[in-house]
């Protein structure tokens, strides 16, 4: 990672805001990214997801490179973008495609390193899917039958079952994007799913700290109340 944690150099930042340069060095790079509660790989996944969800393209190439250097594979990065087309919107994903295309070209990443369009899907937990589908049909069906249809397929019967991104990481991407876009009402379901997929309580707490710097304190504090409720209500 660069000394500033940005496409900009520390000198560039200090030319406008010496204080921001100090915070970048001391708090973001010197503390946040070194905390042991979450791996650099996971922090990269969270940060890239936040930037895509907020359509903040300026530093996206920088953090995509950080992600690849931290152990995120080209296939996983590709799949993160695909996933966020559904959770942060098509245009945000297209902006991310443009950034990733440049990163892949610079690194010599070829098509054979990326996930196929239609892979063999992971096994479906039919009971979990039945419960999800029943709830959506009850709450959304009378309002938007089309949304119910698309939520079932392609979202949960296809996208969520794609093998190029582990279920735990797919959940991490989803929760990060929800926090980044201020969608606190959706966090409960997806955080429970994330923890069922292997995310720990410590990682869930650290996820909030990471998003505070990249999505802002208000979004992080709004999410913290929901995350706290989820953690308190989960079986010990």
Please give the pLDDT value at position 150. 98
Q: Calculate what percentage of the chain has a pLDDT beyond 90.
A: 97
pLDDT digits (tens, 9 = 90+) for 103-149: 999 999 999 999 999 999 999 999 999 999 999 999 999 999 999 99
Q: Which pLDDT score is estimated for 22?
A: 96
- Residue 66: inside a domain: no
Q: Which domain holds residue 139?
A: 120-161
Q: Is residue 4 one of the residues assigned to a domain?
A: yes
What's the domain count of the chain?
2
Is it the case that residue 3 has pLDDT exceeding 80? no
Does residue 236 have a pLDDT over 80? no
Mean pLDDT on 54-69? 97
pLDDT value for 120? 98
188 belongs to a structural domain = no
Task: Specify if 138 maps to a domain.
Answer: yes
**Structure tokens that stand for 27 in this block:** 């708090």
pTM of the complete model: 0.97
Boundary of a domain, candidates 112, 129, 161: 161
What's the confidence (pLDDT) of residue 88? 98
Q: Is the pLDDT of residue 231 over 90?
A: yes
pLDDT over 80 at 176, yes or no: yes
Residue 34 in this model has a pLDDT that exceeds 90: yes
Residue 57, in any domain of the structure? no
Residue 9 lies in a domain: yes
Q: Indicate whether 172 belongs to any domain.
A: no
Confidence of residue 19 (pLDDT cuts 50, 70, 90): very high
Q: Evaluate whether residue 15 is within a structural domain.
A: yes
């Amino acid at each position: 990672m660069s000394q500033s944690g940005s496409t900009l150099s520390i000198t560039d930042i200090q030319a406008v805001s010496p204080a921001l340069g100090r915070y970048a060095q001391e708090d973001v790079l010197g503390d946040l990214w070194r905390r042991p509660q979450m791996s650099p790989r996971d922090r990269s996944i969270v940060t890239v997801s936040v930037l895509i969800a907020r359509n903040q393209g300026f530093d996206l190439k920088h953090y995509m490179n950080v992600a690849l250097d931290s152990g995120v594979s080209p296939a996983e990065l590709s799949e993160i973008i695909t996933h966020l087309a559904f959770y942060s919107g098509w245009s945000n994903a297209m902006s991310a495609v443009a950034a990733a295309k440049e990163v892949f070209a610079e690194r010599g990443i070829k098509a054979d390193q990326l996930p196929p369009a239609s892979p063999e899907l992971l096994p479906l937990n039919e009971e979990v899917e039945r419960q999800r589908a029943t709830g959506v049909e009850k709450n959304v069906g009378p309002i938007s039958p089309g949304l119910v249809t698309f939520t079932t397929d392609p979202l949960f019967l296809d996208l969520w079952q794609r093998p190029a991104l582990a279920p735990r990481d797919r959940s991490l991407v989803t929760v990060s994007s929800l926090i980044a876009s201020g969608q606190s009402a959706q966090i409960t379901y997806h955080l429970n799913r994330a923890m069922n997929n292997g995310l720990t309580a410590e990682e869930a707490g650290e996820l909030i700290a990471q998003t505070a710097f990249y999505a802002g304190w208000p979004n992080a504090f709004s999410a913290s109340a929901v995350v706290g409720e989820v953690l308190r209500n989960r079986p010990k």
